[in-house]
Amino acid sequence: YVGDHIYTDAALAKTNLSWRTALVIRELEEEVAALSAGRPHRAKLKELLEKKELLGQMFNAVRTQRQRMMASETSLGDVSELLSDEVRVNEALGQLVLHMEALDGTIAPMIETEGAQFNERWGFLSRAGVNDKSLLSSQIERHADIYTSRVSNFYRSTPYSYFRSPMQTLAHDRNLSKYSSIMSNPKAEPGLSLDDLPLADSTEGSQG
């Protein structure tokens, strides 16, 4: 059953009649064009978010080391060999905070403009924020078996065509090589070196 209303067409046909449903979304073509135009912006935003995540992990590692030092406990891993002085630890924490704040100053306005290629106020039709899907996308997944921008897209398909969705990926499907390495050596603990800490860089440099 093909329709352009998610409730009166797709939802009712599936719930009451158990029909397979196709939803027509005319705005989809504009959405795809906007997503394509926004790829450089999204790639840069993703890069900055990953950098902030890495700095956050470093901050947590150094903070944990400081707690161990204050408790006079025997530390484990490479961190203890590199950050044995409490003053050095506090300096590292301060520098990491400055870098994360500088990144926040760059990331925040980029998140505000995410999706402006489609709609300056509401953003993308299918996305909410940076990583989440919109409520509309969730409703489409729930009520429509397939969706398209116009009925004419089925022109080359025969009445006997069967449409299959691609394999869905889960969170643990990513970085399988990394997980395999960890599982093969579960006692290995990742090290942290001073070269990983941006102590010598300027705050402005972290925004680039």
Q: Which two tokens stand for residue 55?
A: 């700095």
Q: What is the predicted pLDDT for the residue at 150?
A: 92
pLDDT of the chain, 208 residues: tens digit per residue: 888 888 888 888 888 888 888 899 999 999 999 888 888 988 999 999 999 999 999 899 888 877 777 665 544 455 545 445 677 778 888 888 999 999 999 998 888 888 888 888 888 888 887 788 888 888 888 888 889 999 999 898 888 888 887 787 777 777 767 666 655 665 554 554 444 454 444 334 333 3
Contacts by 40-46, CB closer than 8 A, 24 or more apart: 41/110, 41/113, 41/114, 41/117, 42/114, 44/110, 45/107, 45/110, 45/111, 45/114, 45/130
**pLDDT value, residue 11:** 84
Hey, what are 109's tokens? Answer: 């306005």
Rounded Cα–Cα distance for residues 172 and 174 (Å): 5
Tokens read off for 41:
């912006």
pLDDT confidence of residue 101: 92
The predicted structure's pLDDT at residue 200: 40
- Rounded Cα distance, 133 and 124, in Å: 10
Task: Using alpha carbons only, give the angle 17, 20, 23 rounded to the nearest 5 degrees.
Answer: 110
pTM of the model: 0.65
Longest CA span, the chain: 74
Tokens, residue 146: 């397939």
Strands (E), the chain: 2-3, 22-24, 127-128, 132-133, 146-148
Taking the domains of the chain in order of start, what are their residue ranges? 1-38+126-163, 40-114
* pLDDT of amino acid 179: 64
Question: CA 11, 14, 15: angle at the middle one, nearest 5?
Answer: 80
pLDDT at 187: 53
207/102 Cα distance (integer angstroms): 6
For residue 156, the number of C-alpha atoms closer than 13 Å in the C-beta half-sphere is 1
